[in-house]
């Protein structure tokens, strides 16, 4: 939050973070303790369901961040209502990252090696997995393509940026479980970076990225227009 806000020219930050899971809220509080002590930074974390009506007035936030796949966990029937609510409470931009339809596998809660097996059901938008320790998980998990993201957000947002993140790095970096001694050279990494830049908005590549970066500004609501 801090580097992004400063890079955008904000001199103070008053941010509220919301998560459905109490453990995630506690983790966020602990991890942000050092940040909260800095002058001009006020961070609050709350437990809440973002699919419900958001408890803040219209245009009460400059920015809304919805990062690392939060939208992937929202049941498809609730995404439109959530985007409408985010557009209502956001003055400037929504910045979201979501897992894309062409991304490499994940089990969300742990590294993929911790799964004995996993299965993503694209019809029911569910992720099921059994962990090495015998634990089972089952959660709402919908992968997004750029077309779905544009269609879902179009009534409420104007898209200013939609690009793929990690098209090449994750796939080309050597896997240490397979070859522990070989190293990826710095020049190869630079070449991957230039490939990322070249193809991150290419329609044939973007849906193959691990994440989609989505930046959008709310369309004026009919009520705000009428008040002008």
Ligand X SMILES: C[S@@+](CC[C@H](N)C(=O)[O-])C[C@H]1O[C@@H](n2cnc3c(N)ncnc32)[C@H](O)[C@@H]1O
User: Where does this chain bind ligand X (CB under 6 A)?
Assistant: 18-21, 24, 49-51, 67-70, 73-74, 108
Q: How far is the CB of 141 from ligand X (least distance, A)?
A: 10
Q: How far is the CB of 110 from ligand X (least distance, A)?
A: 12
Q: How far is the CB of 70 from ligand X (least distance, A)?
A: 4
84-117 burial code (b ≥16 CB/10 A, e <16)? bbbbbbbeebbbbbbbbbbbeebbbeeeeeebee
Q: Which is nearer to ligand X, 106 or 199 (CB)?
A: 106
Q: Which is nearer to ligand X, 25 or 195 (CB)?
A: 25
**Whole-angstrom distance, CA of residue 215 vs CA of residue 63:** 10
Q: How far is the CB of 157 from ligand X (least distance, A)?
A: 19
**Whole-angstrom distance, CA of residue 17 vs CA of residue 69:** 15
**Whole-angstrom distance, CA of residue 187 vs CA of residue 208:** 23
What's the burial of 130, exposed, middle or buried (CB within 10 Å: 0-12/13-18/19+)? Answer: middle
**Whole-angstrom distance, CA of residue 76 vs CA of residue 71:** 9
Q: Which is nearer to ligand X, 69 or 164 (CB)?
A: 69
Q: Are 104 and 171 in contact (CB under 8 A)?
A: yes
């Amino acid at each position: 939050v801090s580097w992004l806000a400063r890079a955008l020219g904000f001199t103070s930050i008053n941010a509220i973070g919301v998560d459905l899971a109490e453990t995630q809220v506690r983790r966020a509080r602990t991890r942000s303790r050092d940040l909260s002590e800095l002058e001009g930074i006020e961070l609050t974390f709350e437990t809440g369901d973002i699919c419900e009506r958001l408890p803040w007035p219209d245009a009460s936030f400059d920015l809304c961040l919805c990062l690392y796949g939060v939208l992937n966990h929202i049941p498809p029937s609730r995404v439109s209502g959530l985007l409408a609510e985010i557009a209502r409470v956001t003055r400037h931009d929504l910045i979201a990252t979501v897992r894309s339809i062409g991304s490499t596998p994940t089990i969300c809660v742990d590294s993929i090696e911790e799964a004995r097996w996993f299965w993503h059901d694209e019809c029911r938008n569910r992720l099921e997995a059994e962990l090495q320790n015998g634990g089972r998980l089952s959660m709402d998990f919908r992968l997004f393509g750029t077309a779905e993201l544009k269609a879902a957000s179009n009534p409420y947002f104007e898209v200013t940026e939609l690009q793929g993140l990690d098209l090449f790095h994750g796939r080309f970096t050597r896997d240490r479980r397979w070859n522990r001694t070989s190293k990826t050279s710095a020049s190869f990494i630079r070449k991957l970076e230039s490939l990322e830049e070249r193809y991150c908005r290419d329609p044939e590549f973007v849906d193959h990225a691990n994440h989609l970066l989505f930046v959008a500004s709310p369309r004026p609501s009919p009520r705000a227009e009428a008040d002008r």
